[in-house]
Structure 1
Amino acid sequence: MAMNYIWDLLIKAEDEGLSKKDIYFHLAEAYSPYMELSPQLLNAQYVDQHVEVNPYYRYYGIFNGLFHPDHTSDIEFRNYLLDTGLHFLAEIDRMQGMNKREFYIRFILREIKADVFGTLVRDNIHAFTKKEQEIVALNMLRLYRTGEEIYLLKDTLKRLFKNCMIYVKSEDQDELLLYIRQKQTAQNERKVQLVQEMFLPIGFHMEVYWQYHFGIIDAEETMKLDRIALY
């Protein structure tokens, strides 16, 4: 789907790992009066860091005198004003389109990055994509409302790691067994550490198995030679 508005482009940029500071808005040399963005390829699915814009599409009253043909001085300063103004207006667009839940998610993520939840959480949140950060923040909201730690621990892990499996031991000790069908990487470890820090109840222990499942009697898939993790 093509991007049509400045706020649409900034959201797409964040999804691709770009910062808002990486995007620069410029007055388009040629543009359609019916479009806000003027990309060279109308259906481009990637984000170009230098974006040509028709600022008069929605903001004629703000920018109508900024690039008058008779004004030939201070071009660099006027370009700066256009870029800064459009970034500000895009943020207003996004705030107006947010519902209460989205506002709370952004608030929690801001608190995480401000070290409110501890250094481990602050440092490890950067291992997550933007969408994954929102999954964690949303379940933190649900945790405050319901207190269902184990359920939300499982839900968060299953959303982050496709086809992972979580077992609660039937013995007296409070222990969980987590199997993740992926290789053990530093980034994945950081994700699991954050989820444990935020959702694992005090007194519980979670054992993590990567790539190879531990053997279960009568479960043939878990009893293959050279593909069994020892428990």
Structure 2
Amino acid sequence: MLVVENLDAGYGEAQILFGVGLTINEGEVVTLLGRNGMGKTTTIRAIMGLIHPKAGRVSVAGQDLTGAAPFKIAQAGIGLVPEGRQIFPTLSVEENLIATAASRFGRKRWDIERIYAFFPRLKERRTNRGNQLSGGEQQMLAIGRALMTNPKLVILDEATEGLAPIIRQEIWSCLAALKAEGESILVIDKNVDALAKIADRHIVLEKGRVVWRGSSDDLRSDSAVKDRFLHL
């Protein structure tokens, strides 16, 4: 599905990523973990074409998209839920969803009625503008907006950052339901225990390098990884 090989990237003269590699297979949930400033968001920005890699390769379903424009990445089947949500603040919930609607790859798994069934709160708020929603509702809208592109892979950058604990639980339940639907997901978040209940595999970054890979069972049993790289 997604293959990232030997990815180097950064900003100007500053190199942030050094040989990062990861793969996500169809139907898998994979996390990208690490402390703040270790290169997680930079990895996502390089995958999405928001910064141009200095070296390496990014491919989606076998198509080389290294350095392609962001709209080309989206057309290839990646739906992004960005850090900070970045919904359209003056558009209604329904307008936000319609704005990204697409039917690709011979399937249309997600339409607006299915999004409303998945997130009943969005249906209740469908005429509200984006800036009239709570943080949790905005995150649901950002996820719904990504799903409306009918992607092959959904990427969530800081999935529950700044949300109340009860809302975080709703987002985890949402991701578990998406996994049950067969969606492929790459997720960044700091709530490792919650992620370990959902994800198939985990990748840890330290100073722009992959320093650990393993399953949820591996992560639970390896306290040294948490102590050294995640500060848990």
Fold-level similarity (TM above 0.5): no
- 1 or 2, which has the higher helix percentage? 1
- Structure-1-length-normalised TM-score: 0.27
- 1 or 2, which has the higher strand percentage? 2
Task: Tell which structure's C-alpha radius of gyration is larger.
Answer: 1
- Structure-2-length-normalised TM-score: 0.27
